[in-house]
Amino acid sequence: MRSPQDTPPLVSVLLPAFNAGPWVLEAVQSLLAQSYETIEVIVVNDASRDNTLEKLGSLRDPRLKVASNPENRGLISTLNHACALAQGKFLARMDADDRAHPERLRKQLEALNKEEDLAVLGTGIRFFSSENNWGHVTRAPLRHPARSEDMHATLPFYSSLGHGSAMLRREVLDSITTKDAFGNPALYDAQFPHAEDYELWSRLAKRGHKMRSLQEPLQEVRLHQSSVSQRENVKQREIADRIRAAWRESLGLAPSGENFATHSRLGRLDLPADPAFLDLAEKCLQELREANEKTRLFDSRAWDKSLSLRWWQACHAIAKHHPKIRGRAISSHWARAADPGGLRSAKFLAKTLLG
């Protein structure tokens, strides 16, 4: 009987690591314990200054492959380095401080094998933390769109596929002809630091690649104060705004001005507790709807649903402090596309009435 290491890997898991000593063993072990075993786990150490390499050296599994950058190159170059080393037909992503459910890779492979036109597949995400200040985030799983049309229609606002949960077909990497500064295939664009996944999903969507997410939470994301999203929050928002601006240009809209500022706030969930913001939101959403009627960039139903969800998010943020906006919220035509059965309106009304 052949052992997993005798079989060429079908899945290459890309795991960049920088000063990941406290977590990297748990992360890698969750991958080596997958129910689907025909994998390789490629860890690229980005010149860590802690005991990351020492921890990895304690593992004895031929499916684990460790490489190191000679100097610190940052996440994007490290990811591209890992891509260059991958042999699998499918590439999966994970961060060095996270954990994978034992069935994650198997369930993603099953779905991708059934849907041959699907290029990228994510999963639901469950958050966890050993720090006390994350209780408000860790209660419920995060689920991204289950339909490709809905995922595409969400991208002009924010990244709608969990990067650390993603699995993509090798053909996506092989279609990249550009090289990065170190000669590796530039799947990730160095011009978009801290939002490289958002740029990648947007680029693939514009090329017509189908993407969606499984709803089951098969990836566990650790929350801690030293994570990149916490350390680079301001820079990440600036880069994400560049991607939103590019989407607006694709829709034939101005990448600046009042409507762009509102669009950006809706995408970042930077929503003021001010009823006057609903006027700005309505104006912005109407512009976006009319732009798609002209360009046909998105499926019209999916686009209307996405715009409707932005309306609901704004209303929820404002209703916390101004519950009297409930009537406007539920009677607006913007409420309907994401609430065909009225359940969302009923819950919103009950919440605002009960305080």
pLDDT in tens, 250-307: 999 999 999 999 999 999 999 999 999 999 999 999 999 999 999 999 999 999 999 9
Distance in angstroms (rounded) separating the CA atoms of residues 220 and 18: 19
User: Cβ(11)–Cβ(86) under 8 Å?
Assistant: no
Specify the higher pLDDT residue, 5 or 197.
Answer: 197
User: Cβ(184)–Cβ(122) under 8 Å?
Assistant: no
Q: Please report the domains of the chain, with CATH numbers, ordered by start residue.
A: 4-234 (3.90.550.10), 251-354 (no CATH)
* pTM for the whole structure: 0.93
pLDDT value, residue 135: 54
Give the pLDDT band of residue 140 (cuts 50, 70, 90).
confident
pLDDT value, residue 233: 77
Average pLDDT, the chain: 93
3: pLDDT strictly greater than 60: no
200: pLDDT strictly greater than 90: yes
CA proximity to 125, closest of 239, 23, 217 = 217
pLDDT value, residue 351: 84
% of residues, the chain, pLDDT over 90 = 87
Distance in angstroms (rounded) separating the CA atoms of residues 141 and 102: 17
